[in-house]
Amino acid sequence: MHILLTNDDGVYAPGLLALAQALRKIAHVTILAPDRNWSASGHVKTMHRPLRVMETNLADGTPARKTDGAPSDCVALAILGLVKDPIDIIVSGINPNANIGHDLTYSGTVTAAMEAALSGIPGIAISYDSPERDQGVIDYGPAANAAMHLVQQIASMEIPPDLLLNINIPSLSLQEMRGVEITRQGKRVYHDALVHRTDPRGRSYYWIGGDAPTGVSEPGTDFWALEQGYISITPLQLDLTATAQQELLMEWKLRI
């Protein structure tokens, strides 16, 4: 099995290193990731400038490539010919924080998997519901091992076209994890605040800040599964049509 591994935190992120080490036990792994952090970048396609790709090495000496493009650019570059060997599955992660609910529209981790699905290759996004970063160094070991076992099983299945999987892993040891739940997107609650400041020259600038997001704990959702100690796997599709609302819009009888 040949896996393309990418992320949105940058090629030198510890989550990518841990996942690379775990996935190498089950597959040949090619790494192509951004040269910097692209968190909350959404689904980006760079078309207004050339993309640069450079050889590099991870902290353990593993060869990798990095680019000045976005996570979705990494996937597109690989599929369009930068990676010569056929790719069986594309894995994005490990993100250091959960990507649940409405996070999916922002997440570079998830949109890299979306780019895979757009090209007809199975895509898996993997995120870790870790404690806040200021509490110390994150141990990605349990999440990487769980992800490795899941990827191995998923790769043996017949994956429908245009499907991607969003996997969120709780901050627990493997023994403490209660299992796997197939979930739906939950409701994320954001607590954003606009911070207005002035630079040394007296010019205004703004920072979008606020407290960390929370969520609504409804059974069957990704937020609920993590809260209960389960790994959440949410199947996602590229068709964003609100089919349940089509009939409502027809009743509006819009015309020109």
The domain that holds 68 is classified in CATH as: 3.40.1210.10
Average pLDDT over residues 15-42: 96
Average pLDDT over residues 17-36: 98
Percent with pLDDT over 70 in the chain: 98
pLDDT top residue among 208 and 76: 76
Structure confidence at residue 217 (pLDDT):
87
**Opening angle at CA 247, ends 242 and 252, nearest 5:** 110
Q: Tell me how many domains the chain contains.
A: 1
Structure confidence at residue 191 (pLDDT):
85
Structure confidence at residue 91 (pLDDT):
98
* 93 assigned to some structural domain: yes
Average pLDDT, the chain: 94
pLDDT tens readout for residues 160-217: 888 999 999 999 999 999 999 999 999 888 888 899 999 999 999 998 888 888 888 8
Structure confidence at residue 24 (pLDDT):
97
* 198 assigned to some structural domain: no
* 133 assigned to some structural domain: yes
Instruction: Give the domain range for residue 104.
Output: 2-187+215-251
Structure confidence at residue 135 (pLDDT):
57
* 144 assigned to some structural domain: yes
CA distance 47 to 225: 38
Structure confidence at residue 133 (pLDDT):
54
Confidence of residue 86 (pLDDT cuts 50, 70, 90): very high
Confidence of residue 4 (pLDDT cuts 50, 70, 90): very high
Structure confidence at residue 222 (pLDDT):
96
Give CA separation, 151 vs 45, 88, 143, 191, 195, in Å: 26, 11, 12, 34, 41
* 200 assigned to some structural domain: no
* 43 assigned to some structural domain: yes
Q: Is residue 166 a contact partner of residue 233, using CB atoms and an 8 Å limit?
A: yes
* 204 assigned to some structural domain: no
Average pLDDT over residues 234-256: 94
pLDDT tens readout for residues 104-159: 999 999 999 999 999 999 999 999 998 765 456 899 999 999 999 999 999 999 99
**Three-state SS at 92:** strand
Phi, psi of 66 (to 5 degrees): -130, 155
Structure confidence at residue 218 (pLDDT):
93
Q: Is residue 123 a contact partner of residue 102, using CB atoms and an 8 Å limit?
A: no
Structure confidence at residue 132 (pLDDT):
62
* 115 assigned to some structural domain: yes
